[in-house]
Structure 1
């Protein structure tokens, strides 16, 4: 069973919004921040309310996740042998009301659940472009007992 905490190498960058009477502007990722070791690909996906997209991990690529529309519960699990946080689960909340960028290191399993009644947009950058002949996508079931995460919303 995993424990909850902060995973080594995961970075959460709060974003700064610059609002005016027309809307707002915010920088998401800059090359001079060093969040990714290199640039591979920029992608976006739309996910419907209540959907869980979990888990997968990468052997070669780092990810940066950003949710400009909607709300997400992000779950990370450190499956890296020898990591000081091996076996730790980290839960983050991100989205239009919590504007952050999340850096996911190589070997950390990750997934998310859409929260609320509206769809979610995820924009993500990776250090490797997707290769259909040799995909760096290693799947783990969303309810894997080794991770042991309960995706149900808990009301107290």
Structure 2
């Protein structure tokens, strides 16, 4: 696993009415430092939202409460023992997890399956509309060794 990446299986509490899943608790180690905000995005089947990274210390925490996504993280940090590694995680309704992503690593996701997906993020920094903390690369860049069309694995 890439240094700084962590996962937490989320408990799904189910009964005849549906289910309830806790996405954030201040007593979970994966949320240290604590989030500064939260947001969700909705994406259509097959959409790829990649690649981006943050340069000001932000840590992202991704959860997919509806649909199914493949998250990818690429570590190109010079000082990292996992430099050059790629991690992928398939999460969503079938596998409720929170994935912690060091913002300095390139990351993104692809909606897999035939349904739209919702991604919830709990970043540790507030979004700065005047000066966003983002660097971007196209999803099909040659700089990152990942083929988004390849079969996902968990």
TM exceeds 0.5?
Answer: yes
Indicate conservation of the 8 Å contact 1:47/1:119, yes or no: yes
Question: Which runs of 5 or more residues in structure 2 are unaligned?
Answer: none
Q: Distance in 2 between matches of 1:138 and 1:146?
A: 14
Structure 1 segments of 4 or more deviating over 6 A? none
Indicate conservation of the 8 Å contact 2:48/2:139, yes or no: yes
TM-score (norm 1): 0.91
Indicate conservation of the 8 Å contact 1:36/1:62, yes or no: no
The residue number in structure 2 matching 1:137 is 134
Q: 1:52 Cα shift? A: 0.6
The residue number in structure 1 matching 2:48 is 52
The residue number in structure 2 matching 1:73 is 70
Q: 1:143 Cα shift? A: 1.3
TM-score (norm 2): 0.92
Indicate conservation of the 8 Å contact 2:86/2:145, yes or no: no
RMSD of aligned Cα (Å): 1.4
Matched, 1:101 2:89: no
Q: Distance in 1 between matches of 2:115 and 2:91?
A: 14
The residue number in structure 2 matching 1:84 is 81
Aligned length: 150
Match of 1:42 among 38, 45, 55: 38
Question: Which runs of 5 or more residues in structure 1 are unaligned?
Answer: 1-5
Matched, 1:32 2:23: no
Q: Distance in 2 between matches of 1:31 and 1:41?
A: 13
